Structure 1
Amino acid sequence: MFKTNEYFEGEVMSIGFNPEKGPATIGVMAVGEYEFGTSQKEFMTVTSGKMLVKLPGTDQWKDFKENETFIVEANEKFQVNVKEEISYICFYK
């Protein structure tokens, strides 16, 4: 069964599903700045567009473009800055 999620007053939306690799979400983000917290290790891949990401433990923003992945450990916070609407897929371990 699919599970829909809505964050930041509808600016970020995702659908959860369970492929063979394990739990995942596929979603979209509107232009804006967001901070997310993790409860599991996350592998996030940009599927269209690009976003700036500030990973835990760093003060540097890094660009992630289509087909690029970043990893955030469980129980961490990270920030994203989206300059154009983007889509992503996220796998949880």
Structure 2
Amino acid sequence: MSKKFKNATIIEKANVYFDGKVNSRTVQTTEGKMITLGFMQPGEYTFTTDAAELMEVINGSMKIKQASSDIWEDFPSGTAFNVPKNSSFQVQVNTFADYCCSYLED
């Protein structure tokens, strides 16, 4: 599932969350799409969304519970899930998770 982003701008400053256990870098494509490439250390995290997102697990694995569900779902390397805009989701990471978050248009 490896991607290359040609002619993209990478924002140098890291996005750091949860005392440094989650961090990402923002990438803006020439088409204006915003993407974050990130890494999560073991832990449990809750994220909120303003825009709809496509979360791709590049390496490692995550367990996800969407705000609209009571069920935890496994997402190993090579899988993806969508998150609705103006929502939230919980993440459990047991070892690590390398991810790509694409912000989707409405």
Q: Same fold judged by TM-score > 0.5?
A: yes
RMSD over equivalenced CA pairs, Å:
1.2
Which stretches in structure 1 are left out of the alignment for 5+ residues? none
Moved over 4 A (4+): none
Provide the secondary structure at the position in 2 that maps to 1:46: strand
**Correspondence for 2:102:** 91
Distance change in 2, residues 1:21/1:84 (3 Å):
farther
Amino acid at match of 1:9: D
Distance 1:31 1:23 in 2: 26
Question: Sequence identity of aligned pairs in percent?
Answer: 39
**Correspondence for 1:42:** 53
Largest Rg, 1 or 2: 2
Distance change in 2, residues 1:90/1:21 (3 Å):
farther
1:57-86 per-position Cα deviation (integer Å, ceiling 9, x unaligned): 110000001111100011101000000111
Match of 1:26 among 26, 31, 37: 37
Give TM-score, length-normalised by structure 2: 0.83
Structure possessing the higher relative contact order (Cα contacts under 8 Å, 6 or more residues apart): 1
Q: How many residues align?
A: 93
Mapping for residues 1-93 of structure 1, pairs under 5 Å: 1-2=10-11, 3-19=13-29, 20=31, 22-93=33-104
Distance 1:21 1:49 in 2: 28
